[in-house]
Amino acid sequence: MSEEVEGLDKCEGINKEYLDCMQCKNQFDEDDRQPIVLPCLHTICSSCVNNGIEESQLSCPDCSRKYEVPDSSPNAFIVDYTRLDIVNFVNSFHQGKDISCENCEDGKIAAYRCQHCETFLCTPCRKSHINIRKLKHHKIIAIADIKDVFDFKQEMLCTILRHKDKPLDIYCAGEECKKTVCSMCWMEDHSGNDHIRKDITNQFEEETNLLLTKEDVVNEKVVNLSRLQEWLNDETDDVSRQTIKAELEIASFFNRCIHLLEKEKNFC
């Protein structure tokens, strides 16, 4: 596992920015300090969100923007699962220590990870895991093959307590929504005519293609701006050269005039 640890040591400088809450400075986790994304795209932990809600309002500790929090519920905001994946990845491999199996009580060294259960497994537990009919579709990878944080990608689950563990597998494209919801959220709150149900995978592909198109447009504008900047620089240099040339010509003209005046004066 030394190869992974060495690679993470080189990235240790990102710890405070990506792994810790900007307000309380504690590291994010999956329990009381989940990373929560505010509408301004700043991220704080769920504990600071809970403690920061006053009179159904929350103020961002970074930019000071204030947001309405319906019913003073922290579920109004989204969990940053990508950041949580990074935290789990770093916590698992940054220490360079062996990882214990999370499924048995024997403390055996884990050699695998179930991506669906998000659990580390020893070899015997892996065999038991794949022999259970309901778990046969689970993807299990060897720890030795984990090279990237994407191997820690977690399933996005609904944060509403009564919908606990329901996956966010529906995208509501309604004008007032535009967000992912679970099946129970859809039935309870998104069944009206002003809500539009879309498959989340298709929506992801659409949004990705839209972003790529926008990226191409931005890149083209950057190239055009660079060319314009080069042209402006050339024009500025040319104007400077012309200015110097004109100044020299004017100085030369006045020198000739002075010379002629002095010559005329001496002649008289």
Residue 227: the pLDDT is 95
d(CA 86, CA 106): 28
Residue 135 has pLDDT above 60, yes or no: yes
Is 211 within 8 Å of 203 (Cβ atoms)? Answer: no
Share of the chain residues as helix, strand and coil, in percent rounded to the nearest 5: 50, 15, 35
pLDDT in tens, 217-230: 999 999 999 999 99
Looking at every residue in the chain, the average pLDDT score rounds to 83
Most trustworthy range by pLDDT among 93-97, 139-143, 234-238: 234-238
- The total of other beta-carbon atoms located within 10 Å of residue 234's CB is 10
Distance between CA atoms of 89 and 149, rounded to whole angstroms?
A: 6
pLDDT digits (tens, 9 = 90+) for 215-266: 999 999 999 999 999 999 999 999 999 999 999 999 999 988 888 888 777 7
User: 259 in helix, strand or coil?
Assistant: helix
Residues 102/110, Cβ–Cβ less than 8 Å? yes
Structural contact between residues 196 and 226, judged by C-beta atoms closer than 8 angstroms? no
What is the per-residue pLDDT for 31?
80
- 229-236 contact pairs (CB < 8 A, 24+): none
Mean per-residue pLDDT for 42-49?
Answer: 92
Whole-number Cα distances in Å, 77 to 58, 73, 171, 179: 11, 9, 16, 11
123 pLDDT band, cuts 50/70/90, is very high
CA distance 174 to 70: 19
Question: In a 3-state reduction of DSSP, which class is residue 83?
Answer: helix
Strand 119-121 to 112-114 pairing: antiparallel
**Could you give the CA distance from residue 174 to residue 245 in angstroms, rounded to a whole number?**
65
% of residues, the chain, pLDDT over 70: 88
In total, the chain counts a number of residues equal to 268
Per-residue tokens: 201: 């995978």
Read off the tokens for 92.
């698992």
pLDDT digits 0-9 by tens, 146-164? 776 666 666 677 877 788 7
Tokens for 268?
């008289």
Which stretch of 12-26, 110-124, 182-196 has the lowest confidence by average pLDDT? Answer: 12-26
Structure tokens at 124: 């015997």
DSSP symbols for 15-70: IIIIIB-TTT-PBP-SSTT-EEE-TTS-EEEHHHHHHH-BTTEEE-TTT--EEE-G
- Tell me, yes or no, if the pTM score tops 0.85: no
Per the model's pLDDT, the better-predicted residue between 136 and 250 turns out to be: 250
- Positive or negative, the Cα torsion across 63, 69, 72, 75? negative
